[in-house]
Amino acid sequence: MNGLDLKLEKYLNFKNGFFIEVGANNGYTQSNTYYLEKFLEWRGIMIEGIPSLYEQCKRTRNKSSVYNCALVSKDFCDSFVEMHYANLMSVVENSLKDQEKQIQHIQSGLEIQKINKSYSIKVPARTLESILDEFTNIPQIDFFSLDVEGYELEVLQGLNLDRYKPKYILVEARFFDQINSFLTNYYDLIAQLSHHDYLYQLRDINK
């Protein structure tokens, strides 16, 4: 659980919902969906790129479907994505658009979390839509939590919002203008929950 749970409660305080959490980490630390699964009987999809964190997430969140991959846009051509480990602050190569900022971000993540060293790893690349298409009867997506340290737009570009429309999307947006422009045809920005966390609501939420 984290400080965002209380701020989200007024929007998501009902049972048996369905969520997606991208950037799931270990399924517990700073998770925006742990409370929903454990106490409100929600279920959903968890996606984590770092294998060791994915294994922890599988154990922590055994009611949900957990995937080990990095989400990409539909235009991404490679089969794998390079990631740099920094636990909660792990990043996809080039996600911060500036090599110096990327190095500083990783170093800050190591220092803040008292991690000895980072490492790089190749992670399977998938679109979110390809994962959702594996489900024969995907329920209405009530909540989509997206926190991938600067790679949020690419993740969104891998989802056809004409087919899959989450009711609420929480995005940690380092590049706010790009995210806002992408979502504006379908969503209204209804709250800024922290310095980087923005909550969007589907415009026709009751349809």
Say if 76 falls within a structural domain: yes
**In the predicted model, is pLDDT for residue 102 greater than 60?**
no
Say if 138 falls within a structural domain: yes
Q: What distance in Å separates the CA atoms of residue 150 and residue 132, rounded to the nearest whole number?
A: 22
- Burial class from Cβ neighbours inside 10 Å (0-12, 13-18, 19+) for residue 137 reads exposed
Domain around 95 = 4-202
Say if 187 falls within a structural domain: yes
Identify whether the C-beta of residue 171 lies closer than 8 Å to the C-beta of residue 137.
no
Say if 133 falls within a structural domain: yes
**Number of residues written out for the chain:** 207
**pLDDT attached to residue 59:** 96
> pLDDT tens for residues 172-197?
988 899 999 999 999 999 999 998 99
Total tally of structural domains belonging to the chain = 1
Say if 23 falls within a structural domain: yes
CATH number at residue 100: 3.40.50.150
Say if 207 falls within a structural domain: no
Say if 99 falls within a structural domain: yes
> pLDDT tens for residues 16-60?
999 999 999 999 988 999 999 999 999 999 999 989 999 999 999
